[in-house]
Homo-oligomer: A and B are copies of this chain.
Amino acid sequence: MRQNGNARILVLGGDGFCGWPTALYLSRQGYAVTIVDNFSRRLIDEELGVEPLTPIESIGQRIQCWWEMTGLNIGLHRLDLACDYDPLVELIAETRPAAIVHFAEQRAAPYSMKSSRHKRYTVSNNINATNNLLAAVVDAGVDTHVVHLGTMGVYGYGSAGMKIPEGYLDVEIPLENGQRVSQQILYPTNPGSIYHLTKSQDQLLFAYYNKNDGVRVTDLHQGIVWGTQTAETSLDERLINRFDYDGDYGTVLNRFLMQAATGHELTVHGTGGQTRAFIHISDTVRCIQLAIDSPPAAGERVRIMNQMTETHRVRDLAKMIADASGAKVAFVDNPRNEAAENELFVENDSLCNLGLKPTFLAQGLMEEISEVAGKYAHRCNPDLIPCRSYWCARKNQESSLGEGIGIDTEDSAEAPHLRQVLGRAQNLIGPTSS
């Protein structure tokens, strides 16, 4: 085990899908880890009436188990990053963390598009969370390195024909006198959902606080994460990571896996020609450490690295899983407002140069099928797998009429806790009394 001088790391959103394995990994690497979370992800499970496929424990039991298995302590601080500003400043000022890893945002594109309430919650939560964090780092007077989980989705899924660079694009600007001047600019974003939009807005916040206050920031533009377990979450079943397969939070790969495991057709949206970037959860946690261990220098602009290891077309993913499992593939209407087909070429040299050794789908897929999807298939509710979140109002309406989503109204019997979750969102963005 490497020792990292017990440098303090705050993991915001440390109870979530990426946050939990990151907290364990960093703890095992010798960092003094404190998880900060408001457990909104668990509340949203309640809102949606779903459970992860894997039987996750409460955060208290998770931390207790980690101590039992390793003798390592992980701190816990319950705090809503978008709301509880003063306690955040206190926490940062007291702990003076070497780095703060910021996962604490609503992170599902379909969820962000379910209704105007979900759009508003996602915007308010994510933008206030990031702004509060940056303002608090300045207020606390610490030189903390902020490591943020961004998304490949800010780039959009088309390009002008070049490889998607790591955050900054070289352009030439034609002048009136016929000359050209070269500039490097923040890649012009083209977000595909309200969720992705908030990550584009985050980029502007990072650039601003970096420029005005010298806050050191690494923004990791992550691909779609696949896989469930890391070496640490596999140590004991009580440490198991969440595996989401529902239409809102389940990634395309997880939904295919569950459809295969439960004997259903793999439902591909449109032609399945969408090309996306992927990374295994074990590589995610390693990338976070690589970022922490190589902080930007004082005065350096926001460092952006593409955190992905391979690209695949969605129909090729489906075929891969169909071939391995014997499932059939079915093509269904695409609820999203997106291009039917796209190419995707992405630069990812930075993290590889720092030492990342990728786990590729071809290696890890069979283990995921047997150790997670197959093992817990009895916990799956196949009705939850299809995406029912439509990107445009017209489609939304057809969908409500045709399928009776139901959960977009507060009185839905299927979502008893919806009022609680939306009540929280409502508090956040104020009263709606007329």
Contacts and interface: CB of A to CB of B under 8 A. Distances in A.
Interface of A: 80, 82-87, 89-90, 116, 119-120, 123-124, 127-128, 131-132, 135-136, 138-139, 141, 160-163, 169-176, 180-181, 183, 185-186, 188-189, 191, 194, 197, 200-201, 204-205, 208, 212-213, 337, 391-393, 427-434
A430 B185 contact: no
A51 to B, nearest CB: 28
A285 B14 CA distance: 50
A141 B128 CA distance: 28
Top 5 A-B residue pairs of the complex, sorted by shortest distance between their CB atoms = A83-B430, A87-B434, A171-B171, A116-B135, A185-B188
Contacts of A85: 116, 120, 429, 432
A86 B117 CA distance: 10
A82 B430 contact: yes
B197 A208 contact: yes
B124 A431 contact: no
A82 B123 CA distance: 12
Contacts of A172: 171-174, 180
Contact of A86 (B132, B201, B208, B434): B434
B84 A430 contact: yes
A176 B204 contact: no
Nearest to A431: B83
A336 to B, nearest CB: 10
A431 B84 contact: yes
Contacts of A90: 434
A189 B127 CA distance: 18
B123 A131 contact: yes
Nearest to A434: B87
B131 A430 contact: no
Contact of A160 (B138, B173, B427, B428): B173
